[in-house]
Amino acid sequence: MDTLLQARIFDTAEAPAADRLALWLEVVAQTPAPMRVRTAHADNFLARAEFLDLGPMRLVRYRYPSLDGIRTRKLIRRSDADYYVLALTLNGTGITDQDGQRGVCPPGDFTFFDCARPQEASHHADDGQAAASLVALIPYDALPLPHRRLRPLFSSRIPGGEGVGALLAGYLSRIIGHPEQYHAVDAERLGTVGLDLVTTLLGRHLVSEEAIPTEVRRRALLAQVQAYVRQHLGDATLAPGTIAGARHISVRSLHRLFEDEETTVAAYIRDERLARCRRDLADPALSDRSIQVIAARWGFRDKAHFSRVFRAAQGETPQEYRARHLEPARIVNSTASAVNLSRTY
């Protein structure tokens, strides 16, 4: 059986209040970006970190009290510093200073910095709330952009609310939020897609996108197209023309993009719609919804057409699929009801 992807979690709440800050600093010291920390919450530093390895890229979701930090040359020499950090502010306001540049990042925006250079940072949230961030730790050699070209981006504020920034923010948040939805063997591929989006995001803020390798641009464009398709599956008129127009590319280029994936645009749309239909048909909470309503929700307006497509893909009708998946749930519920009834008497 495949192993599911799983984050490693560290939570200072499991330790006595007096030990929490020291334990937190020990954990942070093992990352490529340890800092000297000042905080008004040293006597009870309630913090949590979730670590998830995705091939060469590591994701960390942090939650901690407001703090200020400084990364000195001495700390740099003690750590494996050949890393970049792309940090997404989730709550509070993050401020970073590096190489004479300052970035002020409200929730939803990114900042980018080099672990091998001195840095000052602060992250403060409103009273009574924790600061939170999502960090991607990226080795130098995993990012196919010239190091010297990236320097103007250090400590800059990079919008995460639109375009590639929004796509990347949603992608990373979805993975770290629900790693159990993925298999461990998928980690490398998930990391590769993430790196492609990071590369594209940074490349958009350089003088020229020509610094981005062609294959990286292709994979990043594919990820954007696939995200658009998933967001519009319920639109029965979804077609190559509308998708290409939304991404400002030609229909021919769109088809060529999917040829490299050994599928077609139409097949991808169909398979994604069928996946959503299978999920809803097997959901006991949706057992009162008709098959036609579920099919229409995901873009299948014609009942007969949906039945034919579903049977061709699954080898059984939608009714048979639903019955096979809901019957075990009915048995469990009936057994539970019988037990509860016997306890009543």
Question: DSSP string of 167-235?
Answer: HHHHHHHHHHH-GGGSBGGGHHHHHHHHHHHHHHHHHHTSS-GGGS-HHHHHHHHHHHHHHHHHHTTT-
The pLDDT of residue 214: 76
Residue 127 in any domain: the answer is: yes
What CATH number corresponds to the domain at position 302?
1.10.10
13 and 140 co-located in one domain: yes
The pLDDT of residue 309: 95
Last residue of a domain, one of 139, 165, 191: 165
pLDDT tens, position by position, 94-108: 999 998 888 899 999
Last residue of a domain, one of 124, 146, 165: 165
Last residue of a domain, one of 165, 185, 216: 165
Residue 180 in any domain: the answer is: no
Confidence category of residue 207, pLDDT binned at 50, 70, 90: low
Residue 159 in any domain: the answer is: yes
The pLDDT of residue 175: 95
Residue 255 in any domain: the answer is: no
Residues 6+ apart with CB under 8 A from 52: 5, 7, 8, 58, 59, 60, 175, 176, 179
Confidence category of residue 117, pLDDT binned at 50, 70, 90: very high
Residue 345 in any domain: the answer is: no
List for the chain the helix, strand, coil content (%; round to 5): 50, 20, 30
Residue 235 in any domain: the answer is: no
Is 35's pLDDT higher than 70? yes
Question: Which residue would you say has higher pLDDT here, 95 or 81?
Answer: 95
The pLDDT of residue 247: 81
Is 29's pLDDT higher than 90? no
The pLDDT of residue 336: 45
Confidence category of residue 290, pLDDT binned at 50, 70, 90: very high
The pLDDT of residue 210: 54
Domain count, the chain: 2
13 and 137 co-located in one domain: yes
Q: What is the mean pLDDT of residues 282-310?
A: 94
Is 337's pLDDT higher than 50? no
288 and 152 co-located in one domain: no
Query: Please, is 8 exposed, middle or buried when counting C-beta atoms within 10 Å of its C-beta (0-12, 13-18, 19+)?
Result: exposed
Q: What is the mean pLDDT of residues 238-242?
A: 92
Confidence category of residue 328, pLDDT binned at 50, 70, 90: low
Parent domain of 130: 8-165
pLDDT tens, position by position, 155-191: 989 999 988 999 999 999 999 999 998 989 989 989 9
Residue from 59, 75, 276 nearest 169 by CA: 59
Tokens of 343: 């306890």
The pLDDT of residue 1: 47
Residue 302 in any domain: the answer is: yes
Residue 14 in any domain: the answer is: yes
Question: Mean pLDDT lowest for which of 74-83, 162-171, 193-202?
Answer: 74-83
What CATH number corresponds to the domain at position 100?
2.60.120.10
Q: What is the mean pLDDT of residues 202-209?
A: 71
